[in-house]
Amino acid sequence: MSRKLFVGNLPYETTEQELETLFGQAGQVETVSVVRDRATGRPRGFAFVEMASDEDAQKAVTDLNGHQLGGRALTVNEARPPAPRGDGGFGGGGDRPRGGGRGRPGRRTEPRW
């Protein structure tokens, strides 16, 4: 098992310190990161917690999955690696032709002058 855990269904007012205290009951906590919206800075309702050992992480999942915090049942499980992103550009994807103009497949996309 990975030492990094995903913690979901958090009340929006939950702080890193609260999570560190809660997960500290299961073992040694290395890092806590509450994910925030980039534009507003408000918490998004989930976090990542990294435990010191695989055993501590397993104990945290067993003890804290479903734990009530602020009237909400926490979801605690092993964090998955992030999904690969595209080329970083806007749009893209699909099988549409690339290039200038508003061309459709089978039509010329070059200017006509």
**Of 1, 2, 50, residue with least CA distance to 26:** 50
pLDDT digits (tens, 9 = 90+) for 19-42: 999 999 999 999 999 999 999 999
The overall average pLDDT reported for the chain is: 86
Domains within the chain, CATH numbers bracketed: 4-78 (3.30.70.330)
**Of 81, 82, 64, residue with least CA distance to 10:** 64
pTM of the predicted protein model: 0.72
Which tokens belong to 97?
């032709």
Q: Which residues pair with 34 in a beta bridge?
A: 47
Q: Which residues pair with 69 in a beta bridge?
A: 72
Contact 74, 66 (CB under 8 A): yes
